[in-house]
Structure 1
Amino acid sequence: MTYPPNVRTAPEHEREQSPVPATVPAPPQRGVLSVTADKVRAAATTEPGRLQIIGAVLALLVVAFGAVTAFEIADRAAAADDVVGRSQPLSADAAAIYRSLADADTAAASGFLAGAQEPRDVHDRYEKDIEEASRLLVKAAANTEASTKSGQEITTLNKELPRYTGLIERARANNRQGLPLGGAYIRYANQRMSKVMLPAAERLYAAETGRLGEDSDSARAWPFFSLGLGVVALAGLVWAQRRNYRRTNRVFNHGLLVATAASTVLLLWLAVGHTVARSELHGADVNGQQSLDVLNRARIDSLKARANENLTLVARGAVLTADGRNDKYETDYSTDMKALGEELGRAGKLADDDQGRGPVAKAVDAVSEWQGRHRTARTADDSGDYEGARTQIIGSKDSTGESFERVDDALKQALAHEQGEFTRAAKDGQGALGGLPTGAAALAALAAVAAIVGVNRRLSEYR
């Protein structure tokens, strides 16, 4: 017979009050970074481990150097491309829109002043200017977002241009019939041009020129981060070779030597290439764009002065200044001619060669001639000789119109020269950055591989 073991069972209330044994806490979980740090510290206690760490750091430095260089120079190269292919052409188109509108207004006033039979060449010039302005507005709209400031100015000009041409056609129709209402239409058209359209065109030009300046500044910004990483990477490679020499008494490690050479080439390419690009783009701005800006404004001033000169005879004193004392168009003519003289003075100072200074000097001489002939015309008009004054203004010989054409031709020549100067310098700056992003990636990869190979050569001595 089997008996149960003699074990005393605790009463129920004693079992409930028995202490529960404490749970042993689990060891804390270690993060990946902590484990990696321990492995690195352990490796650093031996020479092979230290060599592996050095090789990894050197490879990381040269790869970072190449990647950052490729990124920064690609950004600056894109900005340089915008200067050559987008910003400056848009700025030039905006200036051409302004000039075309101002010239159309001048031609319209000249044609009206000629009488019922408008000269064919004057009519063709007006039509050509309107067509050119329309074409450039379409082109500008296609390359500009409607929500931007430039887009808003383009919208304004597109709305106003048909209204302006409609007013001109009404002025012509009345002029052919000998009705005095034509003069009112031509004056109102000029008012819309001078008060609404030309200011909008000027704001468009200012916006596009401002964008050109921003792109030029972006392209010329120093790549400080790339240069700093390059210096650090090169210093690391030199330190590694010096360390190798001190421990092994070997002058060269071929892998580290190749890595150092590749990094040096990249650093020099970066510094020299960007310096050349920066210099050329700066030259394009100073010797090209600044001169273009001044010459564009000078040409616009001459066009506005010519339109006001014509309208002085069209209005015949019917439109006065705000104080009611002087003829408005004659006053505006004087203001425009003063501005023209100032702009030509600045253009002469900015011109850096004889090809740039020559046309400006011709324009200055023609302006002086223009002012002299204008005084003669005003004397005739003030004495009651309207026909003599009109001949002096729009005649084919020894007239202010002839002097105006000389000014305009000289400014065209100067603008063409400065545009060529800008384009050459900007393209040289653009070319100085060409290939650098790709070359940076290739040289950095070569340097990284060479550094690893050089370190592995040392490691093989411990196996």
Structure 2
Amino acid sequence: MGIRLPATMRNGGAWLRRLAGTTPGAIGTIALVSVVLCVLAGLTSADQLSGKITRRDAVLERTEPLAYAAQTLYVALSAADASAATALLSGGIESPEVRRQYQQALADAASALADATTGAADERTRTIVAQIVADLPAYTGVVETARANNRQGFPVGSSYLHEASLLMQNSLLPNAEKLNEDRLAAVRQDQHDIGALPWATIVLLLLVLISCGVGTFVLLGRMNRRMNLGLAAAAGATALTLLWIVAATTVAATALDTGKSGATSRFETLAKARILAQQARTDETLELITRGDITTAETDFRKHTTELADLLAAVTGSDSAASRGLLGWTAGHAKQREAYEAANYPAAVAQAIGNGADSSATRFAQLDQTLRDNLGQQRGQLRDGVDSAGAALRLSPAGTLVLMLFAAAAVVAGLWLRLKEFL
């Protein structure tokens, strides 16, 4: 047996159906639906567009700085490893400058690690950070053991340094690279959210336009009114809101420049290029530590420098300062390899870590500085694009809300005049 509604409810429902079938009832229904849609579209628009501006602030204040810090962490760890190798190659007690470089690299790594993981709450980041925090003291401890043995002239120092470098290459740097990739992905996601069209708002605005069209059709059929000024004004305000949202979002997406040749891609590519350069520099110094077969190290060096050359050609051009710096560095490395293969180990070491204008160390330092400058330039362009995107959206939350409240008021004003004819 079905549920039977109370008589008052059944009578009320029948009365509403009869009212909706009348012209005043139809006009009232159209007014109610249109006003609700206008207010809902205005509130949704304000919420979604405000969210985009919040995302923009998050990129500038958090996401992008964290990505830059993650890249800095990787470079600092690689620099520490290269400095440790340089200290061992120098023999005996390393120079104060080499020692300072190593300590500064560790300080930079610690600072970058703190910056890159500020406020991290996800499980993946916590796992990566925990591993780095656990491995870094172990690495520095083994390096100090290698240093102590090297100062006393014990050959076992090179074995300790090799062990430390393996920890760096197999754990510390891969984890730093994961962190760097995650942070860059977060920047990409925030940019996507800023530049994406707010489809919920667009659908609601289209429903408002449909509601205004249905209202006009009803008035034409029942009252022979070709146009209602209130509905026309509401439709115009809604169309203007729709145009504003699409235009502002499109301008924001264009300012972000997230295409394959955009500032974000160039920033990511240069960050990867700097990492590859550090990897190749580590290969270059470590191959002299073991004083054995350097075939594997040379293969790794050529692999990293070839990838680096391709990235630089794609981003800066094959005749850029960075590309020329890479050629100069690889030429210096060729001299180092020739000296080593000629059994002139002191000359190979001097070429690898010396202060001469043509030494590998000097050429690499010049290349790294160029990459750092280029990366800073692209970072500035990325941040400028995000800032411009926010500027394009700045007035849209309040502006579109005001337009849709005006549209709701126009619907009420326009249809009230028609309802008054029946009072």
TM over 0.5: yes
Aligned to 1:180: 155
Q: What TM-score do the two structures reach when normalised by structure 2? A: 0.89
CA–CA separation in structure 2 for the residues paired with 1:52 and 1:70? 27
> Could you tell me which of 378, 381, 388 is aligned with 1:418?
378
Aligned to 1:383: 342
Q: Per-residue displacement from partner, 1:316-371 (whole Å, max 9, x unpaired)?
A: 11xx5xxxxx54433332332222223223323xxxxxxxx59x711211222222
Q: Structure 1, residues 72-117: CA drift from partner, whole Å, max 9, x if none?
A: 3344444444333333222222111111101111122122222224
Separation of aligned partners in 2, 1:32 and 1:444: 37
Name stretches of at least 5 consecutive residues in structure 2 with no aligned partner.
Answer: none
Cα contact 2:145–2:160 (8 A) shared by 1: yes
RMSD: 2.8
Q: Which residue of 2 aligns with 1:164?
A: 139
Q: Quick check: 1:164–1:193 contact (8 Å CA) kept in 2?
A: yes
Asked whether the 8 Å contact 2:60–2:386 carries over to 1, the reply is yes
Q: In structure 2, what is the equivalent of residue 267 of structure 1?
A: 242
Q: Is the 8 A contact 1:284 1:422 kept in 2?
A: no
Alignment counterpart, residue 299 of structure 1, candidates 269, 274, 281: 274
2:378 counterpart letter in structure 1: E
Task: Indicate yes or no: 2:353 matched with 1:394.
Answer: yes
What is the alpha-carbon distance in structure 2 between the residues aligned to residue 62 and residue 341 of structure 1?
Answer: 56
| Structure of larger gyration radius | 1
Q: What secondary structure, in the 3-state scheme, does the structure 2 residue paired with 1:187 have?
A: helix
Note if 1:66 corresponds to 2:46: no
1:453 maps to which residue?
Answer: 413
Q: 2:320 aligns to what SS in structure 1?
A: helix
**Unpaired runs of at least 5, structure 1:** 1-26, 321-325, 349-356
More deviation, 62-71/125-134 = 62-71
Structural mapping, 1:29-428, within 5 Å: 29-30=5-6, 37-145=13-121, 148-241=123-216, 247=223, 253=229, 255-283=230-258, 286-317=261-292, 326-348=294-316, 357=317, 361-397=320-356, 398-428=358-388
Separation in 1, partners of 2:62, 2:367: 30
* Alpha-carbon distance in structure 2 between the residues aligned to 1:425 and 1:413: 18
More deviation in 422-431 or 32-41? 32-41
Number of aligned pairs?
420
**Superposition misfits of 4+ residues, deviation over 6 angstroms:** none
TM superposition shift of 1:286: 4.6
- Residues 33 and 138 (structure 1 numbering): CA distance in 2 closer, same or farther, change over 3 Å? farther
- List aligned pairs for 1:7-46, cutoff 5 A: 28-30=4-6, 37-46=13-22
Distance 1:36 1:99, change over 3 A: farther
Query: In the alignment, which residue of structure 2 is the partner of 1:10?
Result: none
Looking at structure 1, the residues matched to 299 and 407 of structure 2 have their Cα atoms a distance apart, in angstroms, of: 71
SS in 2 for 1:198: helix
Q: Deviations over 1:396-432 (max 9, x none)?
A: 2221112111211111111011111111112222333
Q: Distance between the aligned counterparts of 1:457 and 1:172, measured in 2?
A: 92
Q: Distance in 1 between matches of 2:308 and 2:392?
A: 38
| In 2: Cα distance, 1:259 partner to 1:230 partner | 11
| Distance across 2 between alignment mates of 1:28 and 1:121 | 92
Cα pair 1:313 1:390 within 8 Å, conserved: yes
Give the residue type in structure 2 aligned to 1:305.
A
Instruction: Give the Cα separation in 2 of the matches to 1:76 and 1:286.
Output: 23
Would you say the 8 A contact 1:259–1:448 is kept in 2? Answer: yes
The 8 Å contact of residues 266 and 443 in structure 1, kept in 2 or not, is answered as yes
Instruction: State the TM-score, normalizing by the size of structure 1.
Output: 0.82
Deviation, structure 1 residue 47:
3.0
Structure 1 position 194, deviation (Å): 0.7
- Contact preservation (8 Å) 1:287, 1:418: no
Question: Are the equivalent residues in 1 in contact too, given 2:257–2:264 (CA < 8 A)?
Answer: no
Residue 45 and residue 390 in structure 1: after superposition, are their counterparts in 2 closer, same or farther (change >3 A)?
Answer: closer
Structure 1 distance, partners of 2:244, 2:274, is 43
C-alpha contact 1:291 1:347 (8 A) present in aligned 2: yes
Deviates more, 1:287-296 or 1:30-39: 30-39
Counterpart Cα distance in 2 of 1:122 and 1:31: 94
Kept in 2: contact 1:292–1:418 (CA 8 A): yes
Contact kept in structure 2, 1:150 and 1:208, CA below 8 Å: no
